[in-house]
Structures are given as C-alpha cells and as structure tokens.
C-alpha cells in the first residue's frame, strides 16, 4: 500500500469576483519510505498541494489517501489522529521564541499527554538525532538558521510520524547549511523509514536527496518520474526551465550565432571520454560550449553541458547522432539556457 495517493485533486479559491484554480486535476503516488520531491516555480501551487496532503487545505474536488484512508471521509477528530502521524517543517522554522530548544521539542510531545519526565527524555533523544544535544538550553535567538531548522525537524519527529512534509525547508539557508540539513533528512529517512515529501523550487534539492519528482506548473502536474530520468531527458518546458537554473544562466556573447542549442548529460560510461574534442576532430566544425556544470543526482556526480551547434542542419543531426552513440542523453535547450 502506498503512503500517499492523490487522485484528480483540484483546489479553487474565490477572490472577490474571480475564481482562482490553484491545483488542477493533480494525481500522484508516493510510496512508503520514499523521498519524493514536488518542485515548481513560485505560485505554481506547491504549498497548496502540500497543505492538501494533511487536509489543512480541503480540496474542491478529488481525493487524498494516507495509507489507503480517504481523508475526505473522516471527522475532525479522525483527521487530527491522522495528522499526528504527519510531521511538517517550514521555511521560517515556526519555533516558540520564549522557550528554549528542549522545551520547543517537549511542547509537541506534551500535547499528546506524555508525562514531563518522559517527554524530556524523548526530546533529548531527538536532539541527539539531529545533532543538537549540546544546545538543549539555548533559545532560538541564539541559534543559526541551520540549527533552528534542526530543532524544527526534531519537533516534527516528536509524534513519531510516518510521513514528513518539508515545505521549502531549506530556502532560507545558505548552500553549505542546506547540504547539512538535506543530509540529515536523508539520514532520518534511512534510519527511521519515514516517507518524506520535499516541496521546493530548487532542482538542486531534488537531485541531492529525492528518488522521484513531480513537477508542478500553474497548478497542473506536467511531468513526474525518477529524478535521474527527468534530469537526463526532461520533457516539459517547466522541467527544462528548472534544470537550467536561473542563478547560473550563461548569456553568450553576441558574436556567437548558434543555430541550435542542445543539452547533453554525461553518463558514467562517457564521463571520461573527450567527447567534444572528438566531435570537432571528426566533423571539422566548431561546437561552442555555452554552459558546463556537474551536479549531484542520487548521490552520483553527473555532468551536463549546453552546446551551440553549427548552422548546417544535416551536420547538426550528425553531431547529435554521434553524441547519442557515445552514450550521452541529448535534449533540446531553450534560448535562456
């Protein structure tokens, strides 16, 4: 049985005289124990989707099933019980500033009626798990952003959830701190077997820790599958845009007039071959490297390049055929890549 099933989910909001469709017929499945990424640009509907998973947002139409249970059929009391098995962490941490670290974690445990001593022992175990045992008496104002997020993760684990929802949990953190928090989430997934859903607008987050990904664009699910497959050969324009990474977009000099741009991804068996040099030698034609990068995809270093091809259409096809024969994934690249 799957941990989460979303079937034909639609969510509409009434704003004055207008009706806004935040989600439009979205269907996806998250298997137990998976780390599943949901990615899209700002306003795509990601946060509405994650809040629909635990029915903080009730869908206008469609179903959400948790371990086979249709949330739409439950009473408020039954919903609260289901939600206790779903932890959630946010971009802004949501810690209680007037309470120290251990009391922030204990607060969630005590809400379940656990005795104070037992709650503190449980909180200490969780702080040890997230690497903050020595900070139990510190207050949020004394912590770095990464430490605050670790406290938030410990608090989210206080109810022994089977599902952990991460809503832009690393967006406010610097790259080094983000890597540490993502590593912790992956460790928790492996140690505790918790199903993790990661909501983000950063493809690097998805490629670092997720095995599957769904891409949301304007409220619609436009692509989903294994992260590795979508990274190598994205089909939707939204996936291509997210993979291009606007922060690292290369703007070629105006003197370069490429007739066609392609994106290539190096597989393991082609990573050490001088592919571009071989192309130039074989076809005696220039191939411009417009962008080159290496990314972590599922724990493996994967190389990608954006190439500008010569004007000759027949030569373009010959070059693409040669790249595919060398074991590379080849897709079209947009002008902004």
Q: What is the pLDDT of residue 7?
A: 96
Asked whether residue 127 is assigned to any structural domain, the reply reads yes
pLDDT in tens, 210-236: 999 999 998 999 999 999 889 888 888
Kind plus residue range of the DSSP H or E element containing 70: strand 69-70
Do 85 and 201 fall within a single domain?
yes
Q: What is the pLDDT of residue 256?
A: 46
Asked whether residue 243 is assigned to any structural domain, the reply reads no
Do 137 and 228 fall within a single domain?
yes
Kind plus residue range of the DSSP H or E element containing 125: helix 116-129
Dist. CA 332–CA 190, nearest whole Å? 36
Q: Which of 314, 48, 332, 27 is nearest to 168 (CA)?
A: 48
Do 18 and 153 fall within a single domain?
yes
Kind plus residue range of the DSSP H or E element containing 307: strand 300-309
Q: Where are the beta strands (DSSP E) in 163-259?
A: 163-167, 195-200, 212-217, 220-226
Q: How many domains does the chain have?
A: 2
Per-residue pLDDT of the chain (337 residues; tens, 9 = 90+): 578 999 999 999 887 778 888 999 999 999 999 999 999 888 888 889 998 999 988 999 999 999 999 999 999 999 988 998 999 998 888 888 999 999 999 988 887 888 888 999 999 999 999 999 999 999 999 999 999 999 999 999 998 999 999 998 888 888 888 889 999 999 999 999 999 999 998 888 999 899 999 999 989 999 999 998 898 888 888 888 888 764 333 444 444 456 688 888 876 655 556 777 778 878 888 788 887 777 777 767 777 888 888 888 888 888 888 888 888 888 888 655 5
Domain of residue 261 covers 249-332
Kindly report whether the global pTM for this prediction surpasses the value 0.85: no
Do 227 and 273 fall within a single domain?
no
Asked whether residue 78 is assigned to any structural domain, the reply reads yes
Do 223 and 264 fall within a single domain?
no
Do 148 and 278 fall within a single domain?
no
Dist. CA 71–CA 55, nearest whole Å? 7
Do 82 and 219 fall within a single domain?
yes
> Are 329 and 232 contacting, i.e. CB atoms less than 8 angstroms apart?
yes
CATH label of the domain that carries residue 285:
3.30.70.260
Q: Which of 217, 215, 195, 218 is nearest to 207 (CA)?
A: 215
Q: What is the pLDDT of residue 252?
A: 43
Do 95 and 135 fall within a single domain?
yes
SS3 content of the chain, % helix, strand, coil (to 5): 40, 30, 35
Do 144 and 254 fall within a single domain?
no
Kind plus residue range of the DSSP H or E element containing 238: helix 237-244
Asked whether residue 244 is assigned to any structural domain, the reply reads no
Do 270 and 202 fall within a single domain?
no
CATH label of the domain that carries residue 53:
3.40.50.300
């Amino acid at each position: 049985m799957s941990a989460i099933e979303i079937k034909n989910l639609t969510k509409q909001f009434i704003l004055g005289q207008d009706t806004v469709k935040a989600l439009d017929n979205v269907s996806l499945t998250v298997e137990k124990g998976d780390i599943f990424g949901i990615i899209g640009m700002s306003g795509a509907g990601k946060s509405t989707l994650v809040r629909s998973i635990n029915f903080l947002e009730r869908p206008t139409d469609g179903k959400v099933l948790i371990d086979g249970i249709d949330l739409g059929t439950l009473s408020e009391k039954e919903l609260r019980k289901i939600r206790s098995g779903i932890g959630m962490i946010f971009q802004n941490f949501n810690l209680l500033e007037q309470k120290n670290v251990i009391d922030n974690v204990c607060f969630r445990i005590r809400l379940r009626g656990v005795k104070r001593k037992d709650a503190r022992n449980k909180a200490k175990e969780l702080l040890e798990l997230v690497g903050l045992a020595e900070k139990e008496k510190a207050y949020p104002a004394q912590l770095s952003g990464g430490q605050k997020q670790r406290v938030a993760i410990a608090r989210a684990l206080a109810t022994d959830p089977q599902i952990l929802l991460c809503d832009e949990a690393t967006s406010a953190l610097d790259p080094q701190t983000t890597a540490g928090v993502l590593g912790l989430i992956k460790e928790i997934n492996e140690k505790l077997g918790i199903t993790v859903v990661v909501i983000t607008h950063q493809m690097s987050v998805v490629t670092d820790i997720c095995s599957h990904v769904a891409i949301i664009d304007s409220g619609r699910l436009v692509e989903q599958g294994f992260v590795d497959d979508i990274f190598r050969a994205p089909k939707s324009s939204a996936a291509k845009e997210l993979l291009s990474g606007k922060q690292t977009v290369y703007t070629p000099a105006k003197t370069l007039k490429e007739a066609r741009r392609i994106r290539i991804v190096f597989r393991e068996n082609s990573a050490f071959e001088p592919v571009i040099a071989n192309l130039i030698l074989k076809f005696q034609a220039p191939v411009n490297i417009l962008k080159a990068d290496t990314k972590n995809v599922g724990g493996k270093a994967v190389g990608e390049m954006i190439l500008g091809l010569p004007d000759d259409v027949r030569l373009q096809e010959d070059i693409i055929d040669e790249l595919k024969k060398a074991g590379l994934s080849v897709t079209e690249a947009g002008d902004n890549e």
